[in-house]
Amino acid sequence: MSTTTKIFLTGATGYIGGSILTRLLAHPDRPSFELTALVRNPDAAKKLAALGVKTISGSYDDLALLTDAAAQADVVFTMVCVTVWDQLPPAQAILAGLKQRFEQTSKPPILIHTSGAGIVMDITAHGHSGAQDTYSDLDAETLASRPGKALPMAVESALVRADEEGYVRSYLITPGTIFGLAKGPLVDLGVQHKHSLQLPLFFRTFIKRGRAATIGPGLNVWPAVSYNDNADLYLRLFDAARSSSSSVGHGREGFYFAESCEYSALEIAQASGRVLHKLGVAEVREPDEFSEEQVQASFGAFWEILSSTSRARGERARAQLGWSPKEGKAELLASVEREIEELLKDSKL
């Protein structure tokens, strides 16, 4: 690897990706970074160029482009929204490029991939408590066996296999629900998405119907992590992975759950109900339950994920990276009001 570290990012204008790019732009080693981002929007590309970020015009469907870009990179961050289910072909294209890079340099490039706590969820919970097992990211064998009724792990499995073959070092960050509004220069420029997906999808629906609600009784639970703590984990892992003396886990040992607390859907609905009532959006403070018709109309096929249970514990980052999240349950519940206030300013609910 040369004195210049070539970094390729996908999803750099998204909620997660923007937080990582912002941190990289402010990194002490920034002068040695060559940052390249895959971008769809020409206006966003111009704004990123003004910040010193090279851009490649294209999408996650441009497989040859992904391979070419990865073949030039020492480090790749993949941060495409986890609701894009068919990510295997793009992942395979990126791995093909990274294999070329390895053949050129004889040094395994680094791949930091965004997965999610959905890999251990009980999708049959349907608003009930669901499976009670809590999965640790230190339990590599259990994670490799795809516990419970979880999301497919085709991409994660491909990354682990590539690591085992030795031509890449893969790291898989698996956040729970990420909360908090995005802030920073990319947001100020109108480049980065300000909101996450999971909770704001509920908030928008609550605002439209004028009352908070749950899918079923809302007893399903998920782990959560703040926007800032999640970004901190990525950067700690990035710095550790670049170190020649690094012993942090990768491949099969490279799953990193990002979480600082656990919440139930009912708790979020109750907090939302209080805020909506306070702001005059809802006449009734207490949430009710969505009807089946409302669930389908509001969430479509995504409803089973939103009503699932996922229990995960991020012990690897704490033990190996010294990651210590600062924001927990109190901050999660306090963020509800700020999110709803911001969404009420948006005419495109």
pLDDT tens for 154-180 read 889 999 999 999 999 999 999 999 999
Give the residues across from 55 on adjacent strands: 37
With cut-offs at 50, 70 and 90, classify the pLDDT of residue 133: confident
- Output the furthest CA–CA distance in the chain (Å, rounded): 65
Q: What pTM does this model have?
A: 0.94
Q: Give the model's pLDDT for residue 148.
A: 47
Each domain of the chain, given as residue ranges in start order, spans 5-124+133-188+225-258, 198-223+263-312+319-344
Residues in Cβ contact with 6 at an 8 Å cutoff, skipping those fewer than 6 apart: 34, 36, 72, 73, 74, 75
**From CA 26, how far away is CA 75, in angstroms rounded?**
17
**Residues 71-104: tens digit of each pLDDT:** 999 999 999 865 445 588 999 999 999 999 999 9
pLDDT at 1 over 50: no
Is the pLDDT reported for residue 61 higher than 50? Answer: yes
Residue with tokens 């997965």: 115
- CATH fold, domain 5-124+133-188+225-258, is Rossmann fold (3.40.50)
Per-residue pLDDT tens for 270-304?
A: 999 999 999 999 999 999 999 999 999 999 989 99
Closest by alpha carbon to 174, among 107, 243, 249?
249
